[in-house]
Amino acid sequence: MRRLLAMLALGLGAALQAAGQGGSLDAFVDAEMRSSSVPGIAYAVVEDGRIAAVGARGVVMKGGDEKVTPDTPFLIASISKSFTALAVMQLVEAGKVDLDAGIGRYLKTFAGKPAGSITIRQLLSHTSGYSTMQGNARPEEVRAGADAIARSAKWYADEGPANAPGSAWQYSNANYLILGRLIEVVSGQPYPDYIQASILDPIGMTHSFVAGGGRSLPMARGHTPWFGSMRPIGETWMGPGSAPQGGIVSSASDLARYLQMMMNGKDDIISRAGKQEMMQAAGPASPAYGFGWNVDAGEGSVYHNGNSPGFDSVAAMIPSQQRAVVVLANSTSGMGFGESTVLRYGIVARALGLPEPVDSGKLWRKATFLALAIAPPIFLACILWAWRKREALRAKSGISGRFSLWFPLLAMIALAWACLWLVPMLFGAPLATLRLFQPDMTLLLEATALLGVVWAVFRLGVAYTGRGNPAR
C-alpha cells in the first residue's frame, strides 16, 4: 500500500509529508486547511461499497463568500480519462470496436499513415508511442470550436507517434484525445453527448457535465500558485477540444457514486468483466496502467490523479475492500511553497487506511524555488557591478583575460537553455503550458534566463567599449 501514495505523489513531482497518524479525518483536514494555501477542497469516502463520509472546506473563489460543498463541481482533469476509457469499453462490448484493431480502421484521417496501425488497446494503455510532450503540444488553432476533437485528432494523425507503437509506456494526452474522436465516429454522437447520456445520467451524476457539451453548472474557480499564495485564474475556459483527456467537471459526491459503480462487481453500464479489464495491467509494456487507471496488482490499488491549470484532484480505490476516496481542490499545487500535496494525499491515506511516507523532497523544492527567486536580483546587481568595474574589465588582456570575459556568456546561454528548454522537458510540457500551471515559477525561469544573458552581454559591452584595441 505504501507504493500507492508514493506513485500518486510522483505524478505531481512531490511526495507526501508525514502529518501524524492520530486524529479523525475531519480534524486532519481542518488542521491542514489552516496551514495550506488551498482556497477550497471537497472529498468523499466509500467504505464497504457505500458512501461513508463527504466533506468540504473553504470557498469557491479566494476572497469570496460562497462555500464549497460536496456537490460543488470541480474540473477533474485527467480523471476524465477513466470516463473516456469506460465509453470505449462500452463500444467494445457493443461489438462496435475491436481493442486490437488499428485506429486507422475507424478514423479515416489515420488510414494509410504510420499512426494508423496503433491499436485501440495501445491508446488506452499509453503504449501508442505518442510522447508526453506531444500530448501537451497541440497548437492553439486546433483546440477551439465544436469540431476541436476532430481537428486535434487529425493533427496527431499527421504528426505521428514519437516512438514505435507498443514499445514502451509513456503517459500522453494525445492517446485519449484520439479515443475521444473514436467515440464520436463510432457512436455517431459528439463526445460530450455520449458521455452525458451513457455514463453521467445512468449513474445519477447530477452535478457533473462535459466541457463543451452545451450543459454547464456554477463551479469552483481555479487558482494557481503565486509566490506562496494562490490567485484565481480567469473564467475557466473549457472547450470540447480537451474534454476526452481532461475536460469533465464533477463533484465529490458524484465521483463517489462513480467509484461505487466501478467497484460493485455488477453488470450495469458496463459488464463486471469490462470493469476488471480496465482495472488491471494492460500488458508487458504497461505493467502499471490499465485502461484509464493506474494499477498496482500486488497491492490491489487503482487510482488516477488529475492536474489542470487551477485544479488538482485524485481518485483512488481498493476494489477488493470496497474502499475508495476522491479529493478535489480548486488550486494547482505550488513548487515548495503553496503546496497542497500533504492535504490531498493525507486524506487519501486516512480514507484507505494507508501509511503516510515522509516527503524527502520538499526542502529541495523550496531551495530550488528560492534559488530561482534570488537569481534575477543577483543578475541586476551584477550589471551594476560591471558598470562600476568597467575599467578593470577593460584592462583584461591575454588568453586568460579573454576567457574570463567570454566564459560567463557561454555559461549564461547554457543557463537560459536549461531554464527555457530543459526544465519544461523534465515536466513534459512546453514553457507556455508550464506557465498555465506554475505561473510564478515560470516567470522566475524566464527572468533568470533573460537577465543572466543580459548581464553577460552587458559585461562584454562595457569591457570592450572604450578600449584602444578591442582585439588585444
Percent residues over pLDDT 70 in the chain: 91
Number of other residues whose CB lies within 10 A of the CB of residue 267: 12
Is the pLDDT score of 110 beyond 90? yes
Structure confidence at residue 20 (pLDDT): 38
CA 139 vs CA 134, 159, 310: distances in Å: 10, 12, 21
Q: Give the confidence band of 10 by pLDDT, cuts at 50, 70, 90.
A: very low
- pLDDT for 111 equals 94
pLDDT band at 426 (very low <50, low <70, confident <90, very high): confident
Classify burial at 310, counting beta carbons within 10 Å of its beta carbon; exposed 0-12, middle 13-18, buried 19 or more: buried
Bridge partners (DSSP) listed for residue 67: 59
Q: Quick check: 1 pLDDT over 70?
A: no
Residue 16 is predicted with a pLDDT of 34
Percent of the chain with pLDDT over 90: 66
pLDDT, tens digit, for every residue of 322-341? 999 999 999 998 888 888 88
Question: With bands split at pLDDT 50, 70 and 90, how would you rate the model's confidence at 184?
Answer: very high
pLDDT in tens, 57-105: 999 999 999 999 999 999 999 999 999 999 999 999 999 999 999 999 9
Query: Residue 87's pLDDT is what?
Result: 98
Residue 27: pLDDT band by 50, 70, 90 thresholds? confident
pLDDT of 26 above 50: yes
How much is the mean pLDDT over the chain? 88
How far the first Cα of the chain sits from its last, in Å, is 68
pLDDT-derived band at 213, boundaries 50, 70, 90 = confident
The CA distance from 276 to 420, in Å, is 43
Using a cut of 0.85, tell me whether the model's pTM lies above it: yes
| 236, pLDDT greater than 80 | no
Confidence band (pLDDT; 50, 70, 90) for 241? confident
CATH homologous superfamily, domain 2-352: DD-peptidase/beta-lactamase superfamily (3.40.710.10)
**pLDDT (0 to 100) of residue 470:** 46
Confidence of residue 357 (pLDDT cuts 50, 70, 90): low
Contact by Cβ (8 Å): 379, 454:
yes
Residue of 375, 345, 358, 378 whose CA lies nearest to 445: 375
Question: Minimal CA–CA distance to 123: which of 306, 289, 269, 301?
Answer: 289
pLDDT recorded at residue 85:
98
Q: For residue 138, name the pLDDT band (cuts at 50, 70, 90).
A: confident
Do the beta carbons of residue 293 and residue 303 sit within 8 Å?
yes
Per-domain boundaries in the chain: 2-352, 362-464
DSSP string, 119-139: BHHHHHTT-SS--HHHHT---
Q: Please indicate whether residue 304 or residue 27 has the higher confidence score (pLDDT).
A: 304
In the Cβ-directed half-sphere of 294, how many Cα atoms lie within 13 Å?
21
Using CA atoms, how far apart are residues 192 and 80, in angstroms rounded to an integer?
Answer: 12
pLDDT of residue 468: 54
19: pLDDT strictly greater than 70: no
- Cell representation of residue 22: 492520530
